[in-house]
């Protein structure tokens, strides 16, 4: 295997034992330690108490605006929907007006095939479509602009708009090839570190961010199906937006770091160390809102028939009293609805203060028929019909 040498690469020095050490933090930064083996009391709050909640009906007046996909990205002006199976993209403005739809799924040089993620850069008016080892760039009408080639051995797992002409990437090549023999192409060029930034102009490597890592064990759960043992993965988010930068983590090493101004600071630690746990668990960053940090614990214990097979449990940290709680987040206009607050809610937005999700028409109509809706939400749903698109719910988190 060949590694490339980057003249522009920089590394952030870390004085930290990779697993089970005692990380220090900057003066003034509180290092939060979560004991994953303990039980915690439940705290019930309304989402409306920690966020300004609003609803955006996405136009369904034209056939080409009707979608079945999921939310890919929300920028300051654009809502991007992508249907993974068909390859369709749908773009709306932030008021819900339809802008464009297109499909370039295929094998050609101007197409995309297996999408990892996508985002809109409003300053450039460009849609970046990230694949395993290349990035396709289109304008907001779907016209092809250029391809950003990545290294042939790249294995992009996550990506986000880093601003300033850069894309933040998490590359999975080193981890996969360390654990699974024979998956590496001996002639391929690959990145030296999993966390890196590349240029929005031509895809060249801008810099690395060096993180602690440990590939001596897998972050997966075995599931016995007949004579076969399957490896089941839970949600794994190594790159999460933060209001001051990004939260970075290699879950195998227990520590979540805040990356800002090209510097890493440990801010949140999973204890005990995952490597020595009989029943392993890990964390996926957090969402900050008001006086709380909201986060997800994933337990690596798969069960047949459970959806998802690898469970997540949701917690919150109260910055005022320094205590942890299981979270129960309700919605004022939707009786009985709970919203798990976790990085999944903000990872589609460049702004970590903005959470976004789609409420399906089936769920909304059933709730309305059962008298569960009220206020603004009920008013909107009363005007919807069976052909309406899913309803976009936005949560602007309070400081």
Q: Domain range for residue 150?
A: 104-215
Q: Which of 399, 385, 383 is nearest to 55 (CA)?
A: 383
Neighbouring-strand partners of residue 119? 128
| Domain CATH code at residue 144 | 2.120.10.30
Give the pLDDT score at 289. Answer: 96
Is the confidence at residue 263, as pLDDT, over 50?
yes
One domain, residues 244 and 384: yes
Is the confidence at residue 9, as pLDDT, over 80?
no
Is the confidence at residue 292, as pLDDT, over 70?
yes
Burial of 172 (0-12, 13-18, 19+ CB in 10 A): middle
One domain, residues 111 and 58: no
Q: Which residue has the higher pLDDT, 137 or 350?
A: 137
- Does residue 315 belong to any structural domain of this protein? yes
Give the pLDDT score at 5. Answer: 39
One domain, residues 264 and 397: yes
| Non-local CB neighbours of 225 within 8 Å, separated by 6+ positions | 304
Q: pLDDT class for 26, splitting at 50, 70, 90?
A: low
What would the mean pLDDT of 2-31 be, rounded to a whole number?
44
* CB count in 10 Å sphere of residue 305: 5
Nearest-10 Cα torsion for 218, 221, 222, 225: -140
What would the mean pLDDT of 304-316 be, rounded to a whole number?
93
One domain, residues 119 and 183: yes
- Rounded distance between C-alpha atoms, residue 370 and residue 337, angstroms: 13
Is the confidence at residue 241, as pLDDT, over 80?
yes
Is the confidence at residue 201, as pLDDT, over 60?
yes
Is the confidence at residue 73, as pLDDT, over 60?
yes
- Does residue 257 belong to any structural domain of this protein? yes
Counted domains in the chain: 2
- Does residue 221 belong to any structural domain of this protein? no
Q: Taking the CA atoms of 210, 216, 217 and 218 in sequence, report the sign of the dihedral they define.
A: positive
Is the confidence at residue 12, as pLDDT, over 50?
no
Give the pLDDT score at 24. Answer: 47
Residue by residue, DSSP assigns 101-117 as EEE-BSSSTT-B-S--E
Give the pLDDT score at 377. Answer: 98
Helix, strand, coil percentages, rounded to 5, for the chain: 10, 45, 45
One domain, residues 377 and 269: yes
Is the confidence at residue 18, as pLDDT, over 50?
no
- Does residue 6 belong to any structural domain of this protein? no
Distance, CA of 291 to chain centre: 22
Q: What are the φ/ψ torsions at residue 380 (nearest 5 degrees)? A: -70, -45
Is the confidence at residue 17, as pLDDT, over 60?
no
- Rounded distance between C-alpha atoms, residue 331 and residue 395, angstroms: 11
One domain, residues 300 and 373: yes
pLDDT one-digit tens code per residue, 293-302 = 999 999 999 9
> Taking the model in full, what pTM does it have?
0.90
What tokens does 240 get?
A: 């999460």
Q: What are the φ/ψ torsions at residue 342 (nearest 5 degrees)? A: -155, 170
One domain, residues 380 and 246: yes
- Rounded distance between C-alpha atoms, residue 58 and residue 48, angstroms: 22
pLDDT one-digit tens code per residue, 126-161 = 999 999 999 999 999 999 999 999 999 999 999 999
One domain, residues 190 and 305: no
Give the pLDDT score at 28. Answer: 54
One domain, residues 392 and 301: yes
Q: Which residue has the higher pLDDT, 3 or 222?
A: 222
- Does residue 108 belong to any structural domain of this protein? yes
For helices 361-369 and 375-382, what crossing angle results, to 10°?
Answer: 110
Nearest-10 Cα torsion for 326, 330, 336, 342: -60
Give the pLDDT score at 29. Answer: 65
One domain, residues 263 and 364: yes
Least confident segment among 24-28, 51-55, 164-168, 280-284 = 24-28
Q: Which of 289, 260, 258, 290 is nearest to 355 (CA)?
A: 289
- Rounded distance between C-alpha atoms, residue 296 and residue 36, angstroms: 11
Q: Which of 360, 364, 312, 362 is nearest to 336 (CA)?
A: 364
- Does residue 373 belong to any structural domain of this protein? yes
What would the mean pLDDT of 284-304 be, rounded to a whole number?
95
One domain, residues 210 and 249: no
- Does residue 125 belong to any structural domain of this protein? yes
Give the pLDDT score at 282. Answer: 97
Supply the mean pLDDT for the chain. Answer: 91
- Does residue 264 belong to any structural domain of this protein? yes
- Rounded distance between C-alpha atoms, residue 298 and residue 55, angstroms: 29
One domain, residues 206 and 251: no
């Amino acid at each position: 295997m060949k590694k490339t040498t980057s003249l522009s690469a920089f590394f952030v020095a870390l004085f930290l034992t990779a697993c089970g050490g005692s990380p220090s933090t900057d003066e003034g930064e509180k290092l939060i330690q979560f004991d994953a083996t303990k039980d915690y009391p439940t705290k019930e709050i309304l989402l409306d108490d920690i966020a300004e909640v609003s609803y955006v009906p996405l136009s369904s007046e034209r056939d080409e605006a009707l979608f079945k996909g999921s939310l890919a990205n929300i920028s300051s002006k654009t809502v991007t929907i992508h249907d993974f199976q068909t390859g369709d993209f749908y773009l709306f403005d932030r008021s819900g007006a339809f802008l464009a739809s297109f499909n370039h799924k295929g094998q050609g040089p101007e197409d995309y095939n297996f999408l990892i993620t996508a985002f809109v850069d409003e300053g450039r008016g460009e849609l970046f479509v990230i694949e395993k080892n290349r990035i396709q760039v289109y304008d907001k009408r779907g016209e092809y602009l250029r391809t950003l080639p990545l290294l042939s051995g790249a294995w992009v797992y996550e990506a986000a708009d880093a601003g300033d002409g850069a894309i933040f990437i998490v590359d999975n090549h080193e981890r996969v090839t360390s654990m699974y023999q024979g998956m590496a192409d001996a002639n391929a060029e690959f990145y030296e570190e999993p966390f890196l930034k590349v240029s929005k102009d031509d895809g060249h490597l801008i810099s690395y961010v060096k993180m602690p890592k440990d590939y001596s064990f897998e972050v997966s759960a075995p599931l016995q199906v007949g004579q076969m043992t399957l490896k089941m993965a839970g949600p794994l988010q190594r790159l999460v937006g933060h209001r001051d930068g990004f939260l970075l983590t290699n879950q195998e090493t227990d520590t979540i770091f805040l990356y800002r101004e090209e510097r890493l600071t440990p801010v949140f630690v999973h204890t005990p160390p995952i490597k020595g746990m009989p029943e392993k668990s890990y964390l996926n960053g957090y969402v900050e809102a008001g006086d709380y940090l909201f986060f997800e614990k994933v337990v690596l214990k798969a069960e047949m028939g459970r959806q998802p097979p690898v469970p997540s449990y949701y917690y919150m940290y109260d910055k005022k009293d320094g205590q942890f709680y299981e979270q129960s987040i309700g919605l004022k206009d939707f009786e009985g609805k709970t919203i798990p607050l976790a990085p999944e809610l903000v990872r589609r937005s460049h702004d970590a203060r903005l959470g976004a999700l789609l409420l399906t028409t089936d769920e909304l109509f059933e709730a309305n028929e059962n008298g569960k809706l009220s206020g603004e939400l009920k008013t909107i749903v009363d005007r919807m019909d069976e052909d309406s698109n899913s309803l976009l719910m936005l949560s602007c988190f309070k400081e």
